Amino acid sequence: MSSYLFTSESVSEGHPDKVADRISDGIVDLYLAADPHSRVAAETLVTTNRIIIAGEVRGPASITPDDIEAVARKAVRDIGYEQDGFHWEKADFQCFLHAQSADIAMGVDADNDAGKDEGAGDQGIMFGYACDETASLMPAPIDYSHRILKTLAAARHDGTSPELEPDSKSQVTLKYEDGRPVGASSIVVSTQHKDGVSQEDLRELVRGHVRDVLPEGWMCPEEEFYVNPTGQFIIGGPDGDAGLTGRKIIVDTYGGAAPHGGGAFSGKDPTKVDRSAAYAARYLAKNVVAAGIASNCTIQLAYAIGVSKPLAVYVDLWGNPQVDPQRLSEVLRELVDLSPRGIREHLALSRPIYAPTAAYGHFGRTPTDEGHFSWERTDLVDVLKSTFGA
């Protein structure tokens, strides 16, 4: 279809599942800061005044349960939870992390004597995607959904809007004509707030943030602008709904505009291809679009546990007849070593860079000098342009 509606949602850092993601990624950073070769698979459950962590680790013995608890409580404090039902200092904490399975370690570890390179931490398929709908080369609905919530969170953190609380969700439905977004047909924002805030005042507060994020003239009709449709949103966060690591994988990626392999990212060190190969696939797809080779690009990578090479590299240019996808696949594999070790080294992933990924998407973000979001670089553009004449 050339004309249609498409919808994506986002959730804030205070959403229960995102609280769990933030804690899990904080644990990954804790271990990688102590030893870049650490292995971490940390799962978090949060509910009414309770934080529970489980999973497997292999890392320095100097990291104690107290260190892990401190990371968890700091994550909750930074998000802003000081409520009766969920408080960073008062919540009960339990940790059930244990040693990584020796069977998994045997498949993943390199063995120089046997000529074995580091293998993938699991089997699976991973997808990357990019399109030219926005400056971030992300689909417009998820891009705007994230940005609305980020501006609301910024106003809460800096004290501009003290009536707001951490938990919130957004949903943006855009109209497409001839395959391009042209405006919003509906906007939904649900945001937790302090008791006593009128719904009228909250609606006007949210409206200002939505208007600032959307392009001029894109605001939806008034009857399709929904703010806290239930009437109020006072009880929220883990007190209102339990949260688990890895339950917002579509929010984390492309808002449903592209396939997803099924694996979550948060809580996993970069030997887990669920995370690192998904980053690599986005990196390649983004560079393809940034080079002008295609307006849309989907890349799939496939791995087997314990095997270093990708089993397949699939490229879909969405009907661009100018470039042979098979040839592009070969060139991309020449430019980037897509083994788990190669990805980790090319994107410098064995660093404590993951806590900021836990909310507002892993993609479409800005790379930093400290190494965050290195997969968003476009440093392959020149060679792709010269190779394909884009």
Question: Domain with 223 in it: what CATH number?
Answer: 3.30.300.10
Q: What's residue 307's pLDDT?
A: 85
Contact criterion met (CB below 8 Å) for 124 and 278: no
What does the pLDDT average to over 358-377? Answer: 97
Q: At 216, is the secondary structure helix, strand, or coil?
A: coil
The string of pLDDT tens digits covering residues 237-247 is 999 999 999 99
The answer on whether 241 is annotated among ligand-binding residues is: yes
Tell me: do 92 and 35 sit in the same domain: yes
Number of domains in the chain: 3
Element (H, E) at 184: strand 180-193
Contact criterion met (CB below 8 Å) for 165 and 14: yes
Instruction: Give the chain's mean pLDDT.
Output: 94
pTM summary value: 0.94
Q: How far apart are CA 54 and CA 88, in angstroms?
A: 19
Tell me: do 250 and 371 sit in the same domain: yes
Q: How far apart are CA 197 and CA 215, in angstroms?
A: 29
Tell me: do 213 and 343 sit in the same domain: no
Tell me: do 103 and 163 sit in the same domain: no
What does the pLDDT average to over 35-64? Answer: 96
108 half-sphere exposure, CB direction, 13 A CA radius: 22
Tell me: do 279 and 374 sit in the same domain: yes
What does the pLDDT average to over 315-341? Answer: 91
Question: What's the DSSP call for residue 347?
Answer: T
Q: At 8, is the secondary structure helix, strand, or coil?
A: strand
- Residue 63 pLDDT grade (very low, low, confident, very high; cuts 50, 70, 90): very high
Residue 62 lies in a domain: yes
Q: What's residue 308's pLDDT?
A: 85
What does the pLDDT average to over 271-287? Answer: 96
- Residue 102 pLDDT grade (very low, low, confident, very high; cuts 50, 70, 90): low
Q: Which amino acid is at 106?
A: M
Q: What's residue 157's pLDDT?
A: 98
Q: How far apart are CA 121 and CA 108, in angstroms?
A: 6
Q: What's residue 119's pLDDT?
A: 72
Q: What's residue 111's pLDDT?
A: 52
Tell me: do 363 and 250 sit in the same domain: yes
Question: By percentage, how much of the chain surpasses pLDDT 70?
Answer: 95
Tell me: do 349 and 294 sit in the same domain: yes
Tokens of 97: 């992390």
Write the DSSP assignment of 77-139 as a string of letters: HHHT-B-SSSBTTTSEEEEEEEEPPHHHHHHHS-BTTTTBPPPBSS-EEEEEEEESSSTTSS-
What does the pLDDT average to over 237-258? Answer: 97
Q: Give φ, ψ of 92 to 5 degrees.
A: -70, 140
Q: What's residue 109's pLDDT?
A: 61
Q: What's residue 116's pLDDT?
A: 52
Tell me: do 184 and 298 sit in the same domain: no
Residue 265 lies in a domain: no
Tell me: do 341 and 217 sit in the same domain: no
> Domain of 362?
124-132+246-254+273-388
Contact criterion met (CB below 8 Å) for 35 and 59: yes
Residue 118 lies in a domain: no
The string of pLDDT tens digits covering residues 183-223 is 999 999 999 999 999 999 999 999 999 999 999 999 999 99
Q: What's residue 122's pLDDT?
A: 77
Residue 354 lies in a domain: yes
Q: What's residue 172's pLDDT?
A: 98
Residue 266 lies in a domain: no
Tell me: do 356 and 279 sit in the same domain: yes
- Length of the chain, please? 390
Tell me: do 291 and 340 sit in the same domain: yes
Catalytic residues: 15, 17-18, 43, 56, 169, 233, 241-242, 247-248, 268, 272, 274
